[in-house]
Amino acid sequence: MKLNLPRVSIKTFRRRLTSVDSTPQLAILGICSGLVTGIVIVIFRKMVETPLEYLLGNSENFEGMDWPLYFLLPFGGAILIAVLMAFIKPDYRPVGVTHVLQRLGRYQGHLPAGNLLTQLFAGTLGLATGQSGGREGPAIHLGAAGSSLLGQYLNLPNNSIRILVGCGAAAAISGSFNTPIAGVIFSMEVIIMDIPLPVFFPSSSQRLLPPLSISLYLEPTSRLVFRP
């Protein structure tokens, strides 16, 4: 006896993403985005915290440094970042939230892999050497870029890639700061730039909320490594 199971292919998946009732497919994208972002954020935080734990005993114990390191660490880090940027092509230098917003506005959320690598290494050097900056900008860029590259690899339509960028940003905020609700709100207000009234009264927003929410609630990777 043979079971006639429906055939699932990437072409079928892309076609269903363009339909009105595409919530299940968007939810699947949210899961994938959360897992990809979790892996990227774990790699980023490990690259930042491992050398600091070796030097300081605690990744946030900058007050316990010997006095020469107060000057040598940020000064040496600034020189390394300047050298790194000098060898990188100008197209790959833009990073951070502004870069994500620019790519969303002009290129439908298609984020290049080269800028992701620049953000990964420059952000690691900046945070590990005590430069003036936080980890929210690099985390958002890394999460959004990782999810965007996933959509580009699967050759998904532009509207789906834009949603994936929002999912990646939401999951990055959630994984970096353990703030899931804030991740969704931040992504809709700053990245997607749309908080319609139906968000609070269920209606047409069902296309956007499921992937955003699932991307961070099913983004357990960084939470398993970095406890709240």
- In this prediction, residue 96 carries a pLDDT of 92
What contacts 215, CB < 8 A, 6 or more positions away? 30, 31, 33, 34, 37, 147, 167, 168, 170, 171
**50-58 contacts at long range (C-beta below 8 A, 24 or more positions apart):** 51/128, 52/128
What's the first-to-final CA gap in the chain, in angstroms?
51
- % residues pLDDT > 90 (the chain): 29
Concatenated DSSP letters of 188-224 = IIIIS----GGGTSSSGGGGTHHHHHHHHHT--HHHH
- Determine the pLDDT at residue 1: 46
pLDDT bucket at 197, cuts 50 / 70 / 90: very low
Most confident residue range from 54-63, 69-78, 137-146: 137-146
Indicate if the pLDDT at residue 107 is higher than 80.
yes
What integer best gives the mean pLDDT of the chain? Answer: 79
Q: Which of 226, 56, 227, 57 is nearest to 129 (CA)?
A: 56
pLDDT band, very low/low/confident/very high, at 205 (cuts 50, 70, 90)? very low
Who's near 99: CB < 8 A, 6+ residues apart?
111, 115, 141
Q: Would you state the pLDDT for residue 114?
A: 95
CATH of the domain spanning 23-225, picked from 3.40.50.720, 3.40.605.10, 1.10.3080.10, 1.10.10.60? 1.10.3080.10
Per-residue pLDDT band for 12 (boundaries 50, 70, 90) equals confident
64-79 mean pLDDT: 83
In eight-state DSSP terms, residue 132 is S
Read off the pLDDT band of 194 (50, 70, 90): low
Q: In the predicted model, is pLDDT for residue 16 greater than 60?
A: yes
CA dist 225 and 1 (Å) reads 46
pLDDT digits (tens, 9 = 90+) for 134-177: 888 899 999 999 999 999 998 988 888 988 898 888 888 887 77
CA-based nearest residue to 77, from 141, 43, 122, 116: 122
